[in-house]
Amino acid sequence: MSIRSDPDVSLTANGFDVDRSAGRLGDLESANDLLGDPRALRATMQERGYLFFRKLIDPTIVSEARLEVLGKYAVLGEIDDRHPIDDGIAGDGEAVSAVNLRAFSESIRSGYWYRRVTDGPEVLGVAGDLLDGVVQIFAMRWPRFVRPGEGCGFHCDGPYMNRGTDRIFSAWIPLGDVTPTEGALMVLENSHRSERLLSGYLRADADRDGLQWLDDDPVSVQEQYGDRWLTADFEAGDVLFFGMHTLHGAFDNRSPVGRCRLSSDTRYQRADEPADPRWNGADFEGHGGSRVFYPGLGRWNNADFQDEWKDVDDRGRIVLREETDRDRH
Ligand SMILES: O=C(O)CCC(=O)C(=O)O
């Protein structure tokens, strides 16, 4: 494949090596030539299970969003501002346990430039073409700050999003350049056609059925559900859309310079179809309880590393769970 990732830094996902050979790892194919042709966009999404656009959004808009978000993480010490903030170099995160994480997380999701990216005409336009009607974005938005050493398990979005309709598309948007060694997204080619997923996992409801990540091992996932892993050297302005049945995850962030990966995932559906109450409405319920979306910080060696949602008290401050046997190993 053509990714620029440093050949000396091995690519891993969830700590497992990812095989770089041509039969195992390939490039996402650009769909830029289909922009403005809704029928072709729909047909190609059905065929590929994803649509990848280079520079769908003006990179200067994405850069504004990046600075807006990283500046807020710097306040928590999560970014080391002895380097330029835009470099996204990880800090010690000392303030995380002391602040109101609920208010912090809301401030990221409601930021002007962040919303300009996720709710802008470029992304809504493609979503509208894909869904052939007026679309709305899910009220919940998932900005992700992924520190060196962190990643994301393999899953499909369907079981997490489908209590309203299953006609939903996710958009994964890098907020800045993101190479595979820095934790780029990876989608499994042809997984959206996997009978095995369609007849089992994809019928589940993540919350009612207590789903964990489907798997951690990129090779075993590949052998069971699809073909090559597909990825890219993502650049500011790029957008990757995929459907609820497309299996995906992320490379571990192994940045040799300690750079954090910043990205966003958001979901879009038709405005005239029922919406999943977990993520929609004024006071959406999420995964229940008093929790805040704040993935990562595995070095705290806490069960929350397995979980992207942190328990918080009534002032929004993190409540760490008891360390479990599993965390210790
Ligand atoms: O960015 C990531 O690490 C995971 C994103 C994801 O799972 C999604 O977009 O559904």
Question: Could you report the per-residue pLDDT of 95-135, keeping only the tens digit for each?
Answer: 999 999 999 999 999 999 999 999 999 999 999 999 999 99
Residue 101 backbone dihedrals phi, psi, to 5 degrees = -70, -30
Atom from ligand 1 closest to the CA of residue 160: 10
The one-letter code for the residue type at 113 is W
Phi/psi zone of residue 24: left (φ > 0), alpha (ψ -120 to 50 degrees), beta?
A: alpha
Q: Which of 14, 170, 211 to mutate to test the pocket of ligand 1 (most atoms within 8 A of CB)?
A: 170
Question: Could you report the per-residue pLDDT of 66-96, keeping only the tens digit for each?
Answer: 999 999 999 999 999 999 999 999 999 999 9
3-class DSSP assignment, residue 231: strand
- For ligand 1, atom 8: residue with the closest CA: 265
Hey, what are 185's tokens?
């997204």
Residue 177 beta carbon below 6 angstroms from any ligand 1 atom:
no
Closest CA to 96 of 317, 329, 321: 317
Mean pLDDT of 177-198: 97
Q: 178 near 184, Cβ under 8 Å? A: yes
pLDDT value of position 7: 65
- E-strand spans in the chain? 12-13, 16-17, 25-27, 50-53, 135-137, 142-146, 152-155, 168-174, 185-188, 229-231, 239-243, 248-250, 261-270, 291-293, 309-311
Question: Could you report the per-residue pLDDT of 131-170, keeping only the tens digit for each?
Answer: 999 999 999 999 999 999 999 899 999 999 999 999 999 9
Closest CA to 44 of 126, 125, 159: 126
DSSP 202: G
- For ligand 1, atom 7: residue with the closest CA: 249
Atom from ligand 1 closest to the CA of residue 157: 10
Residue 170 beta carbon below 6 angstroms from any ligand 1 atom:
yes
Number of residues assigned to the chain: 329
Atom from ligand 1 closest to the CA of residue 250: 3
Phi/psi zone of residue 244: left (φ > 0), alpha (ψ -120 to 50 degrees), beta?
A: alpha
pLDDT value of position 3: 56
For the chain, the domains span 26-328
Second-level CATH architecture of 26-328: Sandwich (2.60)
pTM confidence score: 0.94
